Structure 1
Amino acid sequence: MKHQTLKELHAVAEVDAAYPVMTRSQRLDHWASLLEQDPERSLGALPGTEYMSLDERDKAQCLESPLSVAFADPILRSQGLRSATYGEARRFFELADWQLHAIVCHCHVGASMKAGWAAARVRAATKDDGKLFGKLRERIADWASTRLFPRHQA
């Protein structure tokens, strides 16, 4: 009997495996691991997420982005990831707007990024949990988005 990874099995068969429910940190860690599998892979960035209305931002997506890498994974889909959109990633990975913005927006990297860079940003999002600076930054970002860009609210 030849040992095959779950990914190899998915290539030749429909595999219905029951995965234990992952915590937020485990989901983020798994996403980072997927990105680290090919750290030099070029991925697309989403343009100007901070200037979009909330509705536009939630629907935003990009082919070959860090979000599409996550959605291509059968484990994350089995955990409840429903699409490769910004809003779905924010919901599923339980990220604040500023955290997801730091991972996928073009203002940090230009039109494309290396998967390894995105993985480092995903891992940084897990380190912000519960820290005073992270909470303060989230409050400031929420305040700024409603005060500075009121026309962009849905």
Structure 2
Amino acid sequence: MKHHALEQLQIVAEVDQDYPCRPMSRSERLRRWAELLEQNADRRLATLHQTEYQPIRERAAMRSNSSPISVAFEDPVLRAAGLENDSYGEARRFFELTDNQLHKVICYCHFGATMSAATAAHHLRKLIARQRMFTRLRGMLVG
């Protein structure tokens, strides 16, 4: 990769320094992740082994090449929004998921050694739908 000063880039391209202009909401980040997975739905992705049994530090550091999390990390939009790496802990932080939620999307015990990207996307879509339902219920009860 060749690095250039901003001034050099502006000669050959329009550089938008405000990109992304606004932070992505949790729902937007999850939807983007699901969409990325759906783009290559038949792709086989690696799961993470026994996430629920790992000590907190080891669990946070868990990662695998070609996992559903690595698909998210390959995306420049999600990286620009703040996704720092493709570890379990970073996915948990960035997508604002509980251990139980992320476990249901990525763990070996549910899918075996690999899963299809479509399956991971399906489980993310279920999380998004649940979040919408709770948001509506909260709106009905509170306001």
Structure 2, unpaired ranges of 5+: 1-12, 135-143
Correspondence 1:64 to 2:66: yes
- Report how many aligned residue pairs link the two structures: 119
> Residues 79 and 107 (structure 1 numbering): CA distance in 2 closer, same or farther, change over 3 Å?
same
1:87 lines up with 2:89 in the alignment: yes
**Alignment deviations for residues 42-94 of structure 1 (CA, whole Å, 9 cap, x no partner):** 00000000110001000000110000000010000000000100000000000
Matched with 1:100 is 102
Q: Please, which runs of 5 or more residues in structure 1 have no aligned partner? A: 1-12, 132-154
Bigger radius of gyration among the two: 2
Is 1:55 aligned to 2:51, yes or no?
Answer: no
Identify if the C-alpha distance between structure 1 residues 16 and 81 changes in structure 2 by more than 3 Å, giving closer, same or farther.
farther
Shift of 1:21: 1.4
Residue correspondence of structure 1 range 141-152 to structure 2 within 5 A: none
After the TM superposition, which residues 1-154 of structure 1 pair with which residues of structure 2 at under 5 Å, given as runs?
Answer: 18-19=19-20, 20-129=22-131, 131=134
Once the two structures are TM-superposed, the CA of residue 124 in structure 1 deviates from its matched residue by: 1.1
Root-mean-square deviation (Å)? 1.8
Counterpart for residue 147 of structure 1: none
Identity %: 49
Structure 2 residue identity aligned to 1:28? L
**TM-score, normalised by the number of residues in structure 2:** 0.78
TM-score, normalized by length of structure 1?
0.73
Structure 1 residues 54 and 36, CA gap change in structure 2 (3 angstroms):
same
Q: Could you tell me how far apart the structure 1 residues matched to 2:92 and 2:127 are? A: 12
Per-residue Cα deviation, 1:18-61 (whole angstroms, up to 9, x for no partner): 02311000000000000000100000000000110001000000
Residue 75 to residue 56, structure 1, CA distance change in 2 (3 Å): same
- 1:83 is paired with a residue whose SS is coil
